[in-house]
Amino acid sequence: MSLRRSTAGRAAGLILLVGLGLALGAEAAVRFQPAHPPLADDTGALVEVRVDERIFTLFAALNAAGYDRQGFEEAYHPARQITRAYLAERRLPSLTRLRWRLNVAQPYSDVVWCLHFGEAPQFKRAVGGWHLPALPALLFFGLDDAVRAFYREADLGSVWAQVQPYYQAEAEALRAAAPPALQSTLDYLRLRTLPIDRIVIIPNLLDAHWSGYGPEIGGVGYVIVGPTRQPPSLDLVQHEALHSLLGPLVNADAGSVDRAQAERLQTALRPGLTGSYGTWESLLEESAVRAVGVRLTEPEWRANALLNDEAQGLGLVRPLAEALAAYEAQAGSIEDYLPQWLAVLNELDPASLGLTAPE
Ligand SMILES: [Zn+2]
């Protein structure tokens, strides 16, 4: 009896060990996959606008796998309508694997994963290291193969050729308007050193209107923006760039807010939050980025922007935006002002946060 039990125990232990070994192997395979950085096509400009077949491919896969988010009751962008209709007619065996691995409900992590890779349709690993600290790399094991298979099965290049003019037009508009908007963002921050080497803007027409992602990977601050009305929304471009320009500084200084106070504020805000700001750091970064966004907006739009933030449960934006008036009145850099700026949250009564009751 005891012998049988110990044999069973040993077998279970062995299975556990093998499972652990496989998981560690998968983790290492993705995390340390050899990278082949593309030859530098650097023009030396700080801001580049790129028509990007990789991101198109990722979002085509997401749409095929069930991603149907839409913003502000706008109809899907024509490029998204064409692509979805095209994919609906195809037989796509890779979809089973894609549905298993993609985060269809909240694709931020898929976007960051995708930016580790090079041009479609090869999708060679282009950036070394792992830039999604919150998630183990093994969750993405095999996703690059599945995306390559999807591209092949869908003959995705032919629908890409069809919709590419929409991307070119969007990129053209961004090339004209985005650099001055980003320059005014940099002028506002007065950074002594830039935390990134450059900013790459990628129009993403297969996503919801006014959606955006602003990850930083390998020295590049990405600004991935969904469709907006014409002309393109510069607030959105500034917002996503601020995640790369200001986000790391806010994170480095997050200790300026007492831990216990941070917990009180987060507890007070959590029930009203409409976005996924699971950690205090992500909530603080989003609030700081939006506060600067409010100050960059024309004064007549500021009240509206704050109400909009509060309707989404982001009650820290107003006190942070108000505290920026003192920063603007002096000449130093935001780097120097940050500890003092974030410390205003220590004085806040969580019960006083101006939050609009959800409708
Ligand atoms: Zn944001």
**Residue 232, preceding bond cis, omega within 30 degrees?**
no
Q: How far is the CA of 281 from the centre of ligand 1 (A)?
A: 12
Q: pLDDT at position 335, please?
A: 94
Residues of the chain falling short of pLDDT 70:
1-6, 34-44, 354-359
pLDDT at position 355 is: 59
Please say whether the beta carbons of 64 and 150 come within 8 A. yes
In this structure, are residues 80 and 167 in contact, taking their beta carbons and an 8 Å threshold? no
| Burial environment of residue 109 by CB neighbours within 10 A (0 to 12, 13 to 18, 19 or more) | middle
- Every domain of the chain and the residues it spans: 47-243, 246-352
Tell how far the Cα of 239 is from the centroid of ligand 1, in angstroms. Answer: 6
What pLDDT, on a 0 to 100 scale, did the predictor assign at position 35?
66
The rounded distance, in Å, linking the Cα atoms of 292 and 287 is 9
CA 243–ligand 1 middle distance (angstroms): 7
Calculate how far, in angstroms, residue 287's C-alpha sits from the geometric centre of ligand 1. 8
- From ligand 1's centre to the CA of 13, what distance in Å? 44
pLDDT at residue 357, as a whole number: 45
Q: Which pLDDT score, from 0 to 100, does residue 23 have? A: 79
Beta pairing class for 216-217 and 212-213: unpaired
Q: What pLDDT sits at residue 215? A: 92
CA of 316 to the centre of ligand 1 (A): 14
CA distances from 346 to 278, 286, 316, 319, 328 (A): 20, 18, 11, 11, 21
The pLDDT of residue 339: 95
